[in-house]
């Protein structure tokens, strides 16, 4: 068995929602640039992408849930950046945002690419940001296509 995706990552016709946090904005802008670049390369039309921003990583799941509840989107992308400070707050934000993002995908049966970057330093975040956004978009499209493939080959639940 190969560890390659079972299908080409072609996103033409997919409806994509992107939620980007504004906290650590310069880094989040790089995440968004990477996601947009990946979507273009995979053939997603700009008119098929809806984008919103939220204050921070903890607000991302709420916005994703609003998107998911519409049943309009094939895939959602979560983008944000959490940088460790001197308190336990870092762990809470990272864990709760990740749990909320996962829950939305499972509750609404929608593919989600999690591009919430969790770093110990700003330098680490800057170095990884654009690639992480790119990879989150790829993951979202791949999982949407996997869901389509599964339904086509095995039926819907």
Q: Which two tokens stand for residue 12?
A: 């033409």
CA distances from 69 to 42, 109, 124, 144 (A): 25, 10, 34, 16
Rounded distance, CA 47 to CA 70, Å? 17
Concerning whether 89 is annotated as a catalytic residue, the answer is yes
Rounded distance, CA 81 to CA 40, Å? 23
Which of 72, 89, 108, 151 is an active site residue?
Answer: 89
58 sits in which H/E element: none
Ramachandran sector of residue 155 (left: φ over 0; alpha: ψ -120 to 50; beta: rest): left
Nearest to 30 by CA among 143, 102, 141, 119: 119
Under DSSP, is residue 107 helix (H, G, I), strand (E, B) or coil?
helix
DSSP state letter for 90? H
- Which positions are annotated as active-site residues? 89
């Amino acid at each position: 068995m190969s560890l390659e995706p079972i299908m080409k990552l072609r996103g033409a016709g997919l409806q994509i929602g992107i939620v980007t946090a504004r906290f650590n904005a310069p880094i989040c802008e790089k995440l968004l640039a990477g996601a947009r670049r990946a979507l273009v390369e995979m053939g997603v039309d700009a008119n098929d992408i809806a984008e919103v921003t939220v204050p921070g990583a903890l607000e991302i799941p709420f916005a994703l849930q609003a998107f998911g509840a519409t049943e309009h989107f094939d895939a959602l992308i979560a983008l944000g950046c959490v940088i460790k400070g001197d308190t336990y707050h870092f762990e809470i934000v990272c864990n709760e945002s990740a749990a909320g993002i996962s829950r939305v995908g499972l509750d609404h049966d929608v593919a989600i690419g999690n591009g919430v970057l969790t770093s110990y330093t700003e330098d680490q975040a800057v170095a990884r940001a654009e690639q992480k956004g790119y990879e989150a978009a790829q993951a979202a499209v791949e999982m949407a296509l996997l869901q389509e493939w599964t339904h086509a080959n095995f039926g819907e639940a």
